[in-house]
Structure 1
Amino acid sequence: MSRILDVVVPPRLDRRFRWLLASSWTSNLGDGIILAAGPLLVASRTDDAFLVALAALLNWLPALLFGLWAGAITDRVDRRRLVITVDCVRATIVGLLAVAVVADVATIGVVLVAIFVLATAETFADTASSTLVPMLVDRDDLALANSRIQAGFVTVNQLVGPPLGALLFAAGQALPFAADAVLVGAGAWLISRISLPVVVREHHHTHIRHDIAEGVRWVLHHAAVRTLVLTILIFNVTFGAAWSVLVLYARERLGLGAVGFGLITTVGALGGLAGTLSYGWITRRISLANLMRVGLIIETLTHLGLALTTTPAVALGIFFVFGAHAFVWGTTSVTIRQRAVPTALQGRVGSVNLVGVYGGLVIGAGIGGVLAQRYGITAPFWFAFGGSAIFVALIWHQLRHVAHTDAQDAPAPE
């Protein structure tokens, strides 16, 4: 068993990272369970399309409202304690939701409030926890460490969690939420086992708006990180436009039912798992800057392929490749950012990136809905292809800034 553990988490990453990885995987299993159980609970309480859409919006909104504040607070306080505190709050809220379901008082209003509160807490937890990896791992090992974090996300959050959540919900509506409470609580306990290096904080007497502005200015003046944030913003607009109507695309364009639509998520997760297994091999042969370029091309061609095909098998192949790309892109992007950003600014810079992620999704979803309604179900995919292609042409040479982080000279993950 110890030999297997050493392969998954090489000894040079030390015990503290192993505690963090165990916490990440445990919490992600709980989040994966809720990924399926949450929408099922909403659908069991209402068939009003507006309320169903509102549930999705409430899940995205906190990152836009509080993301920058979460980053500033993360850089002000003890990050380990912040993660533990917020995860305990999350476990309590979801536990109370399970009790409300059992007591048959979980109305749609209660569920919507719970979604918003949980998403708010998760914004703070995710922002703070993302700063822990560069505090525990040497710069040259960040790609390896992030690939292990992302591997757990793909495996337990995307593959194992959702079907388990649906199974538990079918057995008893409160069960998935009780399970999530236990898993998130366990994740908080695992984080408590970690000791972090001391971080010197110099902004205790400044206003929090000053701290936020400092983080935004740092991003604007750092070419590589600015390029990454701009890229994720624009590409999430195009991605959000296409994926916002994915369920209708699967039904009307590909002729897939509910099971077939679920298969899209599974195939994408399997692609992510393939990306996990091949990441070390890929990064030993391709620089991280060139990986970003390849990723932009793959995502652009993904939208084109889906706009053209009506064959389910072809579409599923595209989703598999896209899943692998999403893992590689996510791991590479966070590694480059962590290598470039000073420890004291990790929270604020990460929160600027987070706002770009969710801002792009919200804008894209609105565009996709309008385009599909007026011009047909493939219109959002053509928009995504055209927008992505134009952006790739404009940003191509800017990606050279990524190489200035010396990321391509770091040892490749194993």
Structure 2
Amino acid sequence: MRGLVEAVLPARMGTPFRWLVGLSWVGNLGDGIALAAGPLLVAGQTQDPFLVALGALLQRLPWLVFGLQAGVLADRVDRRRLLVGVDLARAGFLVVLASALLTGDVGIAVVLAALFVLGVAEVFADTTSGTLLPMAVRRADLGIGNARLMTGTLVMNEMVGPAVGAVLFVAGTAWPFVTEAVLLALSALLVSRMRLPVRERPAERSHVRRDVVEGLRWTWGNPAVRTLTLTIVSFNVTYGAAWSVLVLYADQRLALGAVGFGLLSTAMAVGGLLGTASYDWLERHAGLATLMRIGLVLETLTHLALAVTTTAWVAMVVMVVFGAHAFVWSTTSRTVRMRAVPLGLQGRVGSVYFMGLFGGILLGQLVGGLVARSWGITAPFWFGFAGSAVILALIWRQLTHIAHAGDEPAGATSATGAVAAS
């Protein structure tokens, strides 16, 4: 058992890293429960397709509205205390929501408002937690650290959490939210146990708008991070377009029912688990630029394969490969960004990156729906293939510079303060 713990959570990475992995896995389990419970709660209140879709939108919209402000706050204050406060506030709000559900005095308007409020809190929590890893481990261990965190996201958020959330919802409407509240309280406890370096911050606080502009300006002024951000935006447009009609594609193109559609997602999750499990080996035997290039080639070919195949088992294999790429790419891109960005700007630059990520998906979903309506169910996949191929050709040479961004020790300090040992 001790050997397994050492393999997953190496002692050299320190106790704070182990607390970080613990809180990440616990928090992702709670978020996974909400992924299932939120839509089920909306559907239990109304069968109006517009309101059901609005519920999903309200959970992602906060990233576009409050993402930059969350980054500013994460760079201004004690990140550990901020995360504890946000998690406890979310837990308290969920207790109130669960109590209202038990009394039965909840309508669709209250449910939609609750999803939006929880979405806002999640933006601040995720932005802040995303800045902790560079404070907890050495630069050389960021790749392994991100792989362990991504494993938690995959297993807890995407595989275990939604299933648990659905079962709890069947047992009682309030149970998923009570369970999530308990998990968030536990996450806050784990955060409070972390001991991190103290960041020196300016005595005088600047205006929020100035801090936002500084984050945007730094992102645009750094060639590697700028290219990385534009890459995630553009590739998520093509991804969002194709995946927006995946449920219809599974039914009309592959002749799969609801269970078959679920198996496509399961295949992707299996691939993701294989990818994150092998990341340590991949990082030792291949450069980051090579991993990024191979991954983006695989993503481009994924769109092509799904556009031409009509065979379900072929699509399943493609989804396994794509899932492996998706989580290896996420781990690599997070590692590259964390190495390149000064510690005092991690929150703001990270929030710009995530706004681009979610914005690209939302735009892609809109494009995918319009393209499919005009040219058929496989058209979004052809759009994804052509768009990804063009983008990849444009950035191919730049990927070497992206992968080695931040190799210099310049990231150790920033305009907003240096790192001092506590």
How does the TM-score come out when normalised to structure 1? 0.96
Structure 2 residue aligned with 1:335: 335
Distance 1:154 1:4 in 2: 19
Decide which moves more: 212-221 or 198-207.
198-207
1:164 partner letter:
V
Distance 1:217 1:159 in 2: 38
Q: Does 1:17 align with 2:17?
A: yes
1:49 partner letter:
P
1:357 partner letter:
L
Q: Does 1:138 align with 2:138?
A: yes
Decide which moves more: 39-48 or 337-346.
39-48
CA contact (8 A) 1:63 1:123 kept: yes
Distance 1:376 1:394 in 2: 28
Structure 2 residue aligned with 1:235: 235
Distance 1:178 1:260 in 2: 31
Structure 2 residue aligned with 1:345: 345
Distance 1:106 1:322 in 2: 41
Structure 2 residue aligned with 1:411: none
Structure 2 residue aligned with 1:80: 80
Distance 2:30 2:399 in 1: 36
CA contact (8 A) 1:94 1:178 kept: yes
Distance 2:71 2:342 in 1: 13
Distance 2:94 2:271 in 1: 31
Structure 2 residue aligned with 1:174: 174
Structure 2 residue aligned with 1:266: 266
Distance 2:106 2:394 in 1: 49
Listed one character per residue, the Cα deviations across residues 1-45 of structure 1 (whole Å, up to 9, x for unaligned) are 333211110001111111111000011111111111211111111
CA contact (8 A) 1:336 1:407 kept: no
Distance 1:388 1:232 in 2: 11
User: Following superposition of structure 1 onto structure 2, how do residues 4-403 of structure 1 map, counting pairs within 5 Å?
Assistant: 4-202=4-202, 204-403=204-403
Q: How many residues align?
A: 408
1:23 partner letter:
L
Distance 1:336 1:202 in 2: 27
Change (3 A) 1:146 1:407: farther
CA contact (8 A) 2:143 2:283 kept: no
SS in 1 for 2:197: coil
Q: Give the RMSD, CA atoms, in angstroms.
A: 1.4
How does the TM-score come out when normalised to structure 2? 0.94
Listed one character per residue, the Cα deviations across residues 141-164 of structure 1 (whole Å, up to 9, x for unaligned) are 111111111111111111111111
Structure 2 residue aligned with 1:412: none
CA contact (8 A) 1:76 1:204 kept: no
Listed one character per residue, the Cα deviations across residues 347-379 of structure 1 (whole Å, up to 9, x for unaligned) are 011011011101101111111111111211111
Change (3 A) 1:368 1:2: same
Structure 1: tracts of 5 or more residues without a match = 409-414
CA contact (8 A) 2:341 2:406 kept: no
2:310 partner letter:
T
